[in-house]
Structure 1
Amino acid sequence: MIAETVCSAVSAAGLGIAAITAYRRRFLAAVRVAAYSLIPVGLVMTGVVEWLADTAFSPMAWAGFAVLGLAWLLFMVTRVVERRRGGTRPTRKERKEAARAAARQGAVAPGASAPSLGAGSAPRPAPARPAGKPRSEDDFSDIEAILKKHGI
């Protein structure tokens, strides 16, 4: 009952503002204000305001909104995790097919570390530093050796 009274008062005030705006010869703005001011009365007449008032004071409705919020949060978390991984996780069948294809083609980086290739491979020794080179070039050769080790 209170919500209907408030909506009626808001509509009456809006129509008053529309009349003042029309008196100032701003008819387009006056019609727009009148249209906005009729919305609350229309909502009261259709029963939307009563439904909203019943929903606002219902603990079950608030619990439902909380569940919907939790579902939305879970969807967003899964999207963030999926984007960080670079897509969806491959199935077991897809992983087996990828492993078979890699075995047929051979190793992409022959000097890669043992865990990526499996048993039986040993890492290459680091290149020895020549005595005639200055220290600054030696730093870059270490970086080059690391990059070559990873196949880059």
Structure 2
Amino acid sequence: MLAETICSAVSAAGLGIAALTAYRRRFLAATRIAAYALVPVGLVLTGVVAWVSGMVFKPTVWAGFGLLALAWLLFMTTRAVERRRLGAAGKPAGAAQGSPAPQAVAPAASAPSLGSGARPRPAGRKEPRAAPADDFSDIEAILKKHGI
């Protein structure tokens, strides 16, 4: 009952603001304000407000939301721990539980030696890809094709 009264008051105030806006000859804005003002009354008449207010004031509904929040928190915690383990071990969690681990790639002959000041990479890490000489050659070809 209280929610319906509040929605009616909000709609009445919105329609009043729309009337003032129309008086100032801003008809497009007045029509938009009137449309927004009619939404609360429409929600009351369709029963959505009664459904929402009935749901908000039930303790069992809040307990359900609490359980959903707890489930989400547990899920996110396990994901964070899984990611941390993946970063520390350098291999997927399934590989540590008995499945065959992927074979490490032998270092290339052109790898820098430790004497040149380069630090050794941890096992399982890939070498960063070298940037192509001309990053934009394919873009330039497309632009030339279209005459730009």
1:67-89 deviations in Å (ceiling 9; x for gaps)? 11111212221222222223751
TM-score, length basis structure 1: 0.60
Q: Is 1:98 equivalent to 2:101 in the alignment?
A: yes
Describe how 1:111-122 pairs up with structure 2 within 5 A.
Answer: none
The corresponding residue for 1:114 is none
> Structure 1: how far apart are the matches of 2:22 and 2:82?
56
The corresponding residue for 2:73 is 73
The corresponding residue for 2:137 is none
Residue 16 of structure 1 aligns with an amino acid whose one-letter code is: G
Report the structure number with the largest CA radius of gyration.
1
Structure 2 CA distance for partners of 1:23 and 1:35, relative to 1, 3 Å: same
> Structure 2: how far apart are the matches of 1:78 and 1:30?
52
The corresponding residue for 1:46 is 46
TM-score, length basis structure 2: 0.61
Q: Is 1:89 equivalent to 2:89 in the alignment?
A: no
Q: Secondary structure at the match of 2:64?
A: helix
Describe how 1:2-151 pairs up with structure 2 within 5 A.
Answer: 2-86=2-86, 88-91=92-95, 92-94=97-99, 97-98=100-101
How many residue pairs are counted as aligned between the two chains? 108
Unpaired stretches in structure 1, ≥5 consecutive residues = 109-140
Unpaired stretches in structure 2, ≥5 consecutive residues = 108-114, 124-148
1:9-61 deviations in Å (ceiling 9; x for gaps)? 11011011001011111112111111111110011011111011111111101
Aligned residues with identical type, % of pairs: 62
Residue 22 of structure 2 aligns with an amino acid whose one-letter code is: A
> Structure 2: how far apart are the matches of 1:42 and 1:5?
13
